[in-house]
Amino acid sequence: PWRERAATLFRAAAILRRRRTELAALEVFEAGKPLAEADADVCEAIDYCEYYGRQALRLSEGAPVRQRPGETNLYRYQPRGVGAVIAPWNFPLAIPAGMVSASLVAGNCVVFKPAEQTPGIAFRLVEILLEAGVPPGALAFLPGMGDVGAHLVRHPAVAFVVFTGSKAVGLSIIADAAVQRPGQRHVKRVVAEMGGKNAIVVDSDSDLDQAVPAIVASAFAYAGQKCSAASRVIGVGPVFDVLVERLAGAAAVVPVGHPRELRTVVGPLIDEDAYRRVRDYCALARTEGEVVLQRDDVPAGGWYVGPTVVVTDRPRSRIATEEIFGPFLTVMRADDFDEALALANDTEYALTGGLFSRSPARIRRAAGELRAGNVYVNRAITGALVGCQPFGGYGLSGVGSKAGGPDYLLQLVEPRVVTENTIRQGFAPPDESVDE
């Protein structure tokens, strides 16, 4: 079955590839995702299916264990059971494709609850998986509001929960899953990714021609609606003033528009609630810092918020500590590299982080000391590739799992050891005939 399930994922990847343009277009109109980002989302979904299919083939052999004379020891993986997959809206195809395909290829049954904002693209994913050969009884599609997900988490038949979303919801899932309910015969495993307040340190010797475009892309692409997006920038010493000036200048010309337009980088926010939340932070910024850029040249008739750049000297302010999930960048000054690392690490989250520097010694320090599950040096901090940069954080960003990594499937299976005494003394298997 492992090989059959892997083959199913490979077929699903082929179907996704064939329908790439259609699926990207649906994301544009359902999620408001700019076309280039929507296309990348489809490609990532393909990568997940192919990667987890290959990982399943690796796990199908079990794991090597020591043998003893007169015994055979087998270490094998078995499915956990029924899993609840609760998906986000910001990567409405790639993230659920990864969570659902990984759960299925491990041999589990899945109840898939998509984000209420993006059920259309989620339904297309289910169609594709069924077309690829997933048995209908192995995958259930259950769209609905948040209370649907809460019910799944509490259900005694659910053995594991895979979730991507906010810190508040993620922590409530972990708490609910810890309660044993009548009829429940397992400890529920929770795989949760819960966002971040991601920082980029710009060292005093960094190349701003390299740093500024990468920061702007990390902060404002898809209107900052990525858990990996840059939310804070820390400039070290003399680079700070020039850095602020150049960031404001670059953010001032980032294309804002309808997501179907090829040039668009900043599209609309997902819904009215997101719009009001980000606008509230923009208003708060005037009391917690100095607003150096707040663009109002945005299209009418949608949930558009222009890029905003704010300088603050209050590292514990709300704009510097709370996840905003919009095109909003907070910039802070550090007198030296030690202070910069301390500011970057002064957060409850630990998802992504970055450094721009020409110093090998400081690069080594950041690699070892920057508190983030994914650390990027001299490049953007978004755009993790499946199998290349397994993605996920710790702290209050998640449970330390790595989507698109070699150990992800291990969270969705249970290891089992079978030991047989092979020194047979007068024993014959029932299927062997014995002469009377």
CA distance 50 to 1: 17
Phi, psi of 85 (to 5 degrees): -105, 120
CA distance 179 to 184: 10
CB 128 within 8 A of CB 19: yes
Residue 87 neighbours by CB distance under 10 Å: 27
Exposed e or buried b per residue across 239-277, where buried means at least 16 C-beta atoms within 10 angstroms of its C-beta: bbeebbebbbebbeebebbbbeeeebbbbbbbeeebbee
* Residue 40: predicted pLDDT: 98
* Residue 426: predicted pLDDT: 62
CA distance 139 to 141: 7
* Residue 133: predicted pLDDT: 98
CB 92 within 8 A of CB 118: yes
Write the pLDDT tens digit of every residue in 131-179.
Answer: 999 998 999 999 999 999 999 999 999 999 999 999 999 999 999 999 9
Write the pLDDT tens digit of every residue in 9-52.
Answer: 999 999 999 999 999 999 999 999 999 999 999 999 999 999 99
Write the pLDDT tens digit of every residue in 256-308.
Answer: 999 999 999 999 999 999 999 999 999 999 999 999 999 999 999 899 999 99
Q: Which two tokens stand for residue 25?
A: 């277009």
Query: H or E segment at 219?
Result: helix 208-220
3-state helix, strand, coil in the chain (%, to 5): 40, 20, 40
* β-pairing verdict for 139-141 and 198-202: unpaired
Mean of per-residue pLDDT scores for the chain: 96
Is the pLDDT confidence value at 428 over 80? no
Residue 366 neighbours by CB distance under 10 Å: 25
CB 247 within 8 A of CB 216: yes
Write the pLDDT tens digit of every residue in 221-235.
Answer: 999 999 999 999 999
* Residue 402: predicted pLDDT: 96
Is the pLDDT confidence value at 424 over 80? no
* Residue 203: predicted pLDDT: 98
Write the pLDDT tens digit of every residue in 321-377.
Answer: 999 999 999 999 999 999 999 999 999 999 999 999 999 999 999 999 999 999 999
Residue 431: pLDDT band with limits 50, 70, 90: low
Q: Give Cβ neighbours of residue 274 (< 8 Å, ≥ 6 apart).
A: 225, 303, 325, 326
* β-pairing verdict for 71-79 and 413-421: antiparallel
Is the pLDDT confidence value at 427 over 80? no
Averaged pLDDT, 389-409: 96
Work out the angle at residue 393's Cα, subtended by the Cα atoms of residues 387 and 399, and round it to the nearest 5 degrees: 105
Beta-bridge partner residues of 376: 354
339 CB burial (10 A radius; 0-12, 13-18, 19+): middle
Q: Which residues are catalytic?
A: 193, 227
Domains of the chain, start order: 2-194+398-420 (3.40.605.10), 198-377 (3.40.309.10)
Write the pLDDT tens digit of every residue in 394-403.
Answer: 999 999 899 9
Averaged pLDDT, 74-100: 98
